[in-house]
Amino acid sequence: MKYCWGISREREHSPGRETDDAEILGLTAKQLEALGFQVMLKTPDEVTGTPDAKPLGVFLMCELPEILRHLRGMEMDGIPHVNSPLAVLNTYRERMLALVAEAAVPFIESRVVSTAAPHHRAALPVWVKRPDVHNTQKGDVVFAETAAEVQEALGGFARRGIERAVIQPHVEGDLVKFYGVGAGAAADGTPPWFRWFYHKDRAVAGHPLDAVALGRAVRRTATALGLEVYGGDAIVTPDRFVLLDINAWPSFALYRDEAAERIAAHLAVRFRGAAS
């Protein structure tokens, strides 16, 4: 029986989430095995050598460019990857902004600025974020209420050798988290799996939310990036919602068991299709 690889996230990309990430990967592997597949779980460091046999398919949570480039080569040889290494790279914030703009989805206003030059912006407060990966350490995402705090955040990036940053306005509203698997209906007509919920420990005003419209906007965004397994955040105001972020293969928190079953079913279709 041919086997699949499941690749974990780098520890430095899972601050405080190492256990959660390991759980969703392990649960997905068990569900995939129940569907008749063999699964080998690997760390990113274990995938760069030459395998003794090609896997049938790869499902991955890793995010570092050097690992993704290696996996991209395997993908080009015909081995399906979920998510595609290119799609994971597309979640790097600066790349993502161009793609979501082209997709015309309701995404938070975002400006890419130099970390070496003074930045002038009238509207405060803002969020200052690194332009590539998501929050991996203190200082990657900074809430700035004053111009001085904005400059300090930019200076922090510059001192770390990060030449650009993304600045986004702070929007008051209900913070929503979402998860999804697939961007279109399955072959049997099953709709894409999508769940949303309010962030815990945050006040909720109860602004009206059109969950169907949110799901459609999220799926358009996922499609623009090439994602099949994804999650992210949105903010809901009295008259609209805007997407704040979307990332590849989250830990799925409150829906882990349900998500693992749905992801495995999605992988089974993808991997069996490659084998036929």
The predicted-structure confidence for 185-220, as pLDDT tens digits, reads as follows 555 666 789 999 998 888 899 999 999 999 999 999
243 falls within a domain: yes
Q: Which domain holds residue 182?
A: 172-248
DSSP output for 52-84:
SS--S-EEE----HHHHHHHHHHHHTT--EES-
Q: What is the CATH number of the domain that holds 182?
A: 3.30.470.20
Residues 161 and 190 in one domain: no
Residues 71 and 135 in one domain: no
142 falls within a domain: yes
What is the rounded average pLDDT of the residues 151-172? 95
Which residues make beta-bridge pairs with 40?
Answer: 5
153 falls within a domain: yes
Q: What is the CATH number of the domain that holds 158?
A: 3.30.1490
Instruction: List, in order, residues 6 or more apart from 82 with CB less than 8 Å away.
Output: 57, 58, 59, 60, 228, 229, 266, 267, 270
Q: State how many domains the chain has.
A: 3
89 falls within a domain: no
Assess whether pLDDT exceeds 90 at residue 179.
yes
Residues 78 and 8 in one domain: yes
What pTM was computed for the model?
A: 0.93
The predicted-structure confidence for 48-82, as pLDDT tens digits, reads as follows 766 667 899 999 999 999 999 999 999 999 999 99
Q: What is the CATH number of the domain that holds 10?
A: 3.40.50
Residues 177 and 243 in one domain: yes
95 falls within a domain: no
